């Protein structure tokens, strides 16, 4: 069985995914970490040395590899993964357990503001530019995120509560 977590950066995919995997006794895989391990290079460096097109191709290949793996997995995807190529179609074909961890723009700003320096996509932005940047991304990606089988609203919930909500929806 595969449980796939999607959502914008800062939505808690990795934190919730680890808790969920422990609860279900599944293995947890963060796709970004998996890519870096398999390609032996940081994603930020891949963008510089080989370009985004190369990265997105490898991302799709490795996502497919995980979705076809025989192990029971909880997989946390990168925020943009469902939005490229046919990734979302592939995910939906391989599992009926896709969860969109949805947070309001205000909640995302609150979370991401604290970790801006560790997020290459937003590290260069001024704090006052975060709302527009995040809002634009959420608007663009929403069409993909909304295709998930389940949407979990994460505002005003800790990771444990989000995990518990997901558990109640599992077969």
Give residue-wise pLDDT tens across range 25-80. Answer: 999 999 999 999 999 999 888 888 998 899 999 999 999 999 999 999 999 999 99
Q: Are 11 and 154 in contact (CB under 8 A)?
A: yes
Give me the CATH code for the 2-169 domain, please.
3.40.50.300
The predicted pLDDT at position 47 comes to: 81
Question: What is the per-residue pLDDT across 80-123, written as a single tens digit (0 to 9) for each?
Answer: 999 999 999 999 999 999 999 999 999 998 888 777 766 767 87
Q: Are 102 and 11 in contact (CB under 8 A)?
A: yes
The predicted pLDDT at position 7 comes to: 97
Q: What is the pTM of this model?
A: 0.94
Distance CA 28, CA 16 (A): 10
Q: Are 57 and 35 in contact (CB under 8 A)?
A: no
The predicted pLDDT at position 48 comes to: 83
Distance CA 57, CA 72 (A): 24
The predicted pLDDT at position 51 comes to: 85
Question: What is the per-residue pLDDT across 120-149, written as a single tens digit (0 to 9) for each?
Answer: 678 778 888 888 999 999 999 999 999 999
E strands in 11-139:
27-30, 73-76, 98-102
């Amino acid at each position: 069985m595969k449980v796939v977590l999607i959502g914008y950066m800062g939505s808690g995919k990795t934190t919730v995914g680890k808790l969920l995997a422990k609860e279900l006794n599944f293995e947890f895989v963060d796709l970004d970490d998996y890519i870096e391990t398999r390609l032996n290079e940081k994603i930020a460096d891949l963008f510089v040395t080989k370009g985004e097109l190369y990265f997105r191709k490898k991302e799709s290949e490795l996502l497919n590899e995980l979705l076809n793996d025989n192990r029971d997995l909880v997989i946390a995807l990168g925020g943009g993964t469902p939005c490229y190529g046919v990734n979302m179609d592939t995910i939906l074909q391989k599992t009926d357990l896709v969860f969109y961890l949805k947070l309001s723009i205000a909640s995302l700003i609150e979370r991401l503001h604290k970790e801006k320096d560790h997020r290459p996509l937003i590290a260069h932005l001024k704090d006052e530019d975060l709302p527009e940047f995040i809002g634009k991304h959420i608007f663009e990606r929403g069409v993909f995120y909304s295709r998930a089988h389940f949407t979990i609203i994460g505002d005003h919930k800790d990771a444990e509560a989000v995990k518990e909500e997901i558990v109640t929806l599992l077969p």
